[in-house]
Amino acid sequence: MNGADILVEMLIRMGTEYIFAYPGGCSMPLHQALRAQRDRIRTILPRHEQGGSFAAQAIARTTGRAGVCMATSGPGATNLVTGIADAKLDSVPLIAITGQVPQKFIGTDAFQETPMVEVCRSITKHHYLITDVRDVARIVKEAFYIATTGRPGPVLIDVPKDVQQAILTMDEIDFDPAFDLPGYQPDVRKAAPEQISQVLAAVRRSKRPMLYVGGGCIISESTEELREFALRTGIPVAMTVMGLGAFPGEHEQSVHMLGMHGTAYANYAVESSDLLLAFGVRFDDRVTGKLEEFAKHGKIVHIDVDPSEIHKNKEAHIPVNADLKKALVALNAAMTDADIPDITEWTAQIAEWKKMYPLSYRDSDTEILQQAAIEELYRQTKDLDTYITVGVGQHQMWAAQFYKFAKPRRWLSSSGLGTMGFGLPAAMGVQTQFPDALVIDIDGDGSFQMNIQELATLKCENLPVKTFLLNNQHLGMVTQWEDRFMDGRRAHTYLGPVDKPEALGDGDGSQPEETYPNFVKIAEGYGIKGRQVRTKAELPAAITEMINHDGPYLLDVLCVYQEHVLPMIPTGATVRDMILE
């Protein structure tokens, strides 16, 4: 077998069912190997390498297993960089395989040569340049282990073409090689009994406790343990954008999302808490705002598997570097009735905040407001175990606010890197993994065009993804900042023709008679059913048609462009500066 055959065989043995791969000169042997094993591993051809990387991420985000993508050398490889960086910031297990020029040409500026290990050194959990075909099997096995254990993340495998072509006899190949990673011990961290006692003592003494739950809860598969802990203690639950679905969004204890565009009541509750139980979070700036003012009146318990996160942004009074699932199991086992705090007054206060500051928006008889559109989509799909992906911008935050997730791994968002163009290829990946599920990409017209070419993949691979396009002809989030902080001066945030300023409307958010581009025609050009709606009355039936359509579908929803995502805490500000209207 040659090196390419060995690598593909190892992918299969590591449990890889799907790989998103775009071929080129330095990855052709790998594609030939994939072709030979097409009955054992399905190769999906994206129309851009970045799309493939986000689709592979979607496999990982919905299953917990490593997603796999592949590109050729040079520009193919660098097109994966954004997806790799995205996976690093959101702790997604991703195996990114890149072809490389033959070793004798490395360093000569050969055609399509790029030093991918150096390019990706700071955005991967680990990285390899394979120099000996005898190392292929071991490196693939190591890569999957590193990517999926501890705090998950992306691993790069750069494979020179001569290594792909080098041949070993079957006697020389070990498909279950031993490996030794003495500096990497992800499974030894567990909470000490005295730490569990400290946490329970803090809970017992608290009067205004809050759970602040992030993506680490979902990644560690500890949502059931979290729910048990929350229900037994009665402590309200606030979630980060990565943590949505960790606790049922419609449950009375949920205060939903906190942070810059979180609910007012979640932010007020965290601000006023005397105990903040921070589980699987990293105290990022979009949650904390002005860091020294965040949750400064209470005690902080921080549990996280990554020791580098402990005290990184916010000092914890009780730091616990441990696997969150194991810690929650220990907390639930050790908890007695005496540890349950009396928080009757506290929950009544939060209930009052919910009544005073609900998520709301203005009403319109004719116009389609993005918030109302998402609420209607939620109404029609909430009982269908739907998977939702999003791009980045206003639509992303409105989806996070108004679509309530009851289960984990049903919400896919580029949260740390905030990558426009994530939604469509991520939906493509989810639909690959779950062919019979309802998968909807809630997108904006700006984000959607970043990877619009993946419509071709949907059609050619028979992936019935639904695209719910909230089209306001603008880069909406940047427009919102222009309105709030720059006196409404538009600086390249209108996405229509520059010689048609009338398309901006007359200041009331109205849309032009003809929108640009014509997304319905584009979809039809790819062989996909499309429809545009402009009025509130049309929307419910159009959503029903989209959901029930047998195949991919694009619903172009014309929305006003001067709606703002509220609440909003300006960058570096505090809860006291929160904009509510």
Q: Which domains does the chain have, with CATH numbers?
A: 3-172 (3.40.50.970), 193-355 (3.40.50.1220), 370-558 (3.40.50.970)
The residues annotated with a catalytic role in the active site are 49, 111-112, 161, 477
pLDDT for 188 equals: 67
Tens digits of residue pLDDT in 384-434? 989 999 999 999 999 999 999 999 999 999 999 999 999 999 999 999 999
Residues 565/261, Cβ–Cβ less than 8 Å: yes
Contact status, residue 205 vs residue 236, Cβ threshold 8 Å = no
Share of the chain above pLDDT 90, in %: 93
Query: Rounded to an integer, what distance in angstroms lies between the CA atom of residue 323 and that of residue 220?
Result: 7
Task: Return the minimum-mean-pLDDT range out of 189-203, 296-310, 483-497, 517-531.
Answer: 483-497
**Coil, strand or helix at 437:** coil
Name the phi and psi angles at 563, rounded to 5. -75, 145
Provide the pLDDT confidence category of residue 210 given band limits of 50, 70 and 90: very high
How far apart (Å, rounded) are the C-alpha atoms in residues 159 and 554?
Answer: 38
Check residue 500 and give its pLDDT.
Answer: 66
Half-sphere CA count of 77, side-chain side, radius 13 A? 25
- Supply the pLDDT for residue 288: 96
442: closest CA among 413, 409, 416? 413
Arithmetic mean of pLDDT, 160-178: 97
Give the Cα separation of 462 and 510 in Å (integer): 37
Asked if pLDDT for residue 307 goes beyond 80, the answer is yes
Considering just the CA atoms, what is the radius of gyration of the chain in Å?
Answer: 25
Average pLDDT over residues 249-264: 98
Place of tokens 């449990």: 15
Q: Maximum distance among all alpha carbons in the chain?
A: 76
- Assess whether pLDDT exceeds 70 at residue 509: no
Percentage of the chain exceeding pLDDT 70: 98
Sheet of strand 387-390, all strands in order from the earlier edge strand to the far edge: 411-412, 387-390, 439-444, 466-471, 553-558, 529-533
Direct distance between the N- and C-terminal alpha carbons of the chain, in angstroms, rounded to an integer: 65
Q: Report DSSP letters for 97-109, one per residue.
A: EEEE--GGGTTTT
Helix axes 223-233, 324-334, angle to 10 degrees: 30
**CA atoms of 100 and 109, how far apart (whole Å):** 12
Q: What is the DSSP letter of 183?
A: T
> Taking residues 470-490, what's their average pLDDT?
94
* 511: confidence class by pLDDT, cuts 50, 70, 90: low
pLDDT at 100 over 60: yes
Length of the chain in residues, anyone?
581
CA angle in degrees (0–180, nearest 5) for 218-219-225: 50
pLDDT band at 569 (very low <50, low <70, confident <90, very high): very high
The two tokens of residue 574 are: 């505090």
| Coil vs helix vs strand at 539 | helix
| pLDDT, the chain, mean | 96
Helices (H) and strands (E) in the chain, counts: 23, 18
The per-residue pLDDT for range 388-401, each reduced to its tens digit, is: 999 999 999 999 99
What is the pLDDT, as a whole number, of residue 437? 98
Query: What string of DSSP letters covers 150-215?
Result: SS--EEEEEEEHHHHH-B--GGG--SS-----TT--TT-----HHHHHHHHHHHHH-SSEEEEE-H
Measured CA to CA, the distance from residue 265 to residue 341 in angstroms comes to 21
Of 59, 100, 55, 56, which is closest to residue 76 (Cα–Cα)?
100
Amino acid at 138: R
Weakest-pLDDT range from 154-158, 225-229, 329-333, 494-498: 494-498
Q: Reduce the DSSP state of residue 44 to 3 states and report it.
A: strand
Report whether pLDDT(48) > 90: yes
pLDDT of residue 189: 78
Neighbours of 337 (CB within 10 A): 6
State the DSSP string of 247-306: S-TTSTTEEEE-STTS-HHHHHHHHH-SEEEEES----HHHHSSGGGTTTTSEEEEEES-
pLDDT of res. 114: 97
Residue 506 predicted with pLDDT over 70: no
Structure tokens at 247: 């606790």
Compute the distance between CA of residue 193 and CA of residue 189 in angstroms, rounded to an integer.
13
Averaged over 209-222, what is the pLDDT? Answer: 98
pLDDT value for 9: 98
Mean pLDDT of 173-184: 93
The pLDDT of residue 512 is: 66
pLDDT confidence bin for 170, thresholds 50/70/90: very high
Q: How confident is the model at residue 505 (pLDDT cuts 50, 70, 90)?
A: very low
Q: Specify which residues 321 forms β-bridges with.
A: 304
Rounded CA-CA distance 76/22 in Å is: 8
